[in-house]
Structure 1
């Protein structure tokens, strides 16, 4: 396949001035008409694979057997860690920037000390890549939530010293979710640093995984979205966004199925509230309806969902300022995602397409 021509950059200065006036763009950066930013692009250093395979030998399970099928293949390791392979793929398809984030399940599966160490090493490696290619890569900080105070310190370091754009959390941490008060230091530091949290799915925890182990259901086919949507529902219903109204969460895969379910969630919450059932069911009174938190505290990306109907639905439901383009490289093919984006360009208003392809990412991640 021939390399696509680079994007037309005419008018970049005017667009940059507009974004800079709102504080959305980092010093020295430009908003470029036609720019394409992919916002959920997996990365992993070599040591991560080495440590995970050691863990898999010690603790064999359905999940470790599942991941060993991938992690023992040299090509998978190269695609996730080799920047030259990544750049060649980006150039071939006309992608200007990848926002790099630690692949799932990431460092959250390890014990506290090793997870924290691997998080720091991963962030140092991503930071070195960004320094070499500042126009091509941005990064989301890897943290080990199993050590909340250390994780908060790493958010602070990555955002204030290394120039990262947000945080990646690969959903539950050894069966614990972000509604747990123990994770408050992480949420508070993310707010202080104006760091959106990309909540990426992972395999269902041990307490619920058995029903997903048949038919290949426990991974991205179904278990990922089931796990992550449950995580988000816990956060909303527990009052996380009443306690932290400035917290911003990014969800991939067109919102992990939640946009379709919000009306039902509102309906059932109101029904329980009217019947006086919140306290008996251990529920928290909320200041707003569940769907209102989703519209004010969440942004969704298109990763792995190269289909126009859910894109149109999310744009209508959430508004064009809360949907971003993503590929899910290397687990999805860049050509498929770019074909989907170019089809969307034909039908969307120019301003909406520009927000989808790069504008919202520039604003939210301060690129």
Structure 2
């Protein structure tokens, strides 16, 4: 079984410096774990250490992406320059090790038109396989029409957009995630649960705003087994008629959204995703370097699941290969 992992992160020293210099209002809670210690060192490495980690976990191919919050909290001009240099850096790594690395583009969403142009460049000139987005751009939700040029370009190119978590806005942090001490507050608002509500809400906002009706061939990938929403679609469906949508929320998910585990190696969650979406809409991811996979755990997770051989291969790599085969270069 071939295994392709889609949420495998990296960063550059220039991007890290950009994160550190941003106005504190827009700083992400991931700043510290992404710029200090072992996590930062592993993010910077696109060489032997990363390949060794892939080998140990049982990953054949890693689809690399800039970690959260990308360049989406930066000033527009800075974001454009850093996104371009980051994508060139990624493309060079993919070119050097094409049998092991693929890549998602970083898009400068503070300038949506240039983000769309950068997506085209990354697909047609650099050979990348889609893009990773991180929900909001500062305080502006991804569903707002100013960002629709990105969706238009992605649909025309037939590339997937991976929607990754970022920290909630400051008002949400203050209202829901404060009061337990700095370290607990931060974890509560990030991996504890805040990231996942934030990302799921961004997808629902896209549905309610009519993004998928305007762009019927748009494909979204999201991690952590659907970012909470997958477990609550029956309830979310009450929004469908109230918003006068032509389909239910569940139907939009089943048609447009693919999910990955992001290192949450739970067969219980896998079984739920199989029941709700089906094996054709499940991909794989380990969330390197933030989720530390035990030796062989990535491959073993799929190998030991109660799956048919056909579904095992679909989830391991074939669904991803099928998406990539549709890309218009």
Secondary structure in structure 2 of the residue aligned to 1:109: coil
1:77 alignment partner, one of 36, 40, 55: 40
- Superposed displacement of residue 344, structure 1: 3.6
Q: Relative contact order (C-alpha < 8 Å, sep 6+): which is higher?
A: 2
Q: Give per-residue Cα distances to partners, 1:331-359, cap 9 Å, x unaligned.
A: 011327x4264244232110100011111
Q: Would you say the 8 A contact 2:60–2:100 is kept in 1?
A: yes
CA contact (8 A) 1:237 1:286 kept: yes
Q: Counterpart in 1 of 2:199? A: 228
210-219 vs 313-322, which deviates more? 210-219
For residues 61 and 128 of structure 1, do their structure 2 counterparts lie closer, same or farther at Cα, with a shift above 3 Å needed?
Answer: closer
1:335 aligns to what SS in structure 2? coil
Structure 1 match to 2:10: 43
2:141 maps to which residue?
Answer: 177
The alignment partner of 2:131 has SS state of strand
Cα pair 2:28 2:69 within 8 Å, conserved? no
After TM superposition, the score normalised by the length of structure 1 is: 0.82
TM-superposed deviation, 1:313: 0.9
1:160 aligned to which of 103, 124, 142: 124
Instruction: Work out the CA distance in 1 between the residues paired with 2:84 and 2:55.
Output: 29
Corresponding residue for 1:364? 323
Distance 2:114 2:103 in 1: 19
- Report which of the two structures shows the higher radius of gyration computed on alpha carbons: 1
- The 5 A counterparts of 1:281-320 are 284-320=243-279
**CA-to-aligned-CA distance 1:185-205 (integer Å, 9 cap, x gap):** 111001111111000010002
Q: How does 1:37-116 map to 2 (within 5 A)?
A: 37-55=4-22, 59=24, 63=28, 67-68=31-32, 70-73=34-37, 75-83=38-46, 84-116=48-80
The 5-angstrom pairing of residues 143-222 of structure 1 reads 143-210=107-174, 211-214=176-179, 215=184, 216-222=187-193
Deviation >6 Å, runs of 4+: none
CA shift, 1:61, in A, is 7.9
Counterpart-to-counterpart distance in 2, 1:183 and 1:93: 37
Aligned-CA RMSD value: 1.8
Deviation track 1:126-183 (CA, whole Å, cap 9, x = no partner) reads 0000100011000001001110110000000001111110111011111212211111
Q: CA 1:124/1:295 → structure 2, altered by over 3 Å: closer, same or farther?
A: same
The answer as to 2:314 corresponding to 1:355 is yes
TM-score, scaled to structure 2: 0.91
Shift of 1:77: 2.1
Structure 2 gap ranges (5+): none
Q: Is the 8 A contact 1:259 1:314 kept in 2?
A: yes
- Contact 2:160–2:218 (CA<8 Å) still a contact in 1? yes
Mapped partners of 2:140, 2:77: distance in 1:
18
> Residue 200 of structure 2 contacts residue 228 of structure 2 at CA under 8 Å; is this kept in 1?
yes
Q: Is the 8 A contact 2:3 2:299 kept in 1?
A: no
Distance 1:314 1:135, change over 3 A: same
Q: Which runs of 5+ in 1 are unaligned?
A: 1-33, 279-283
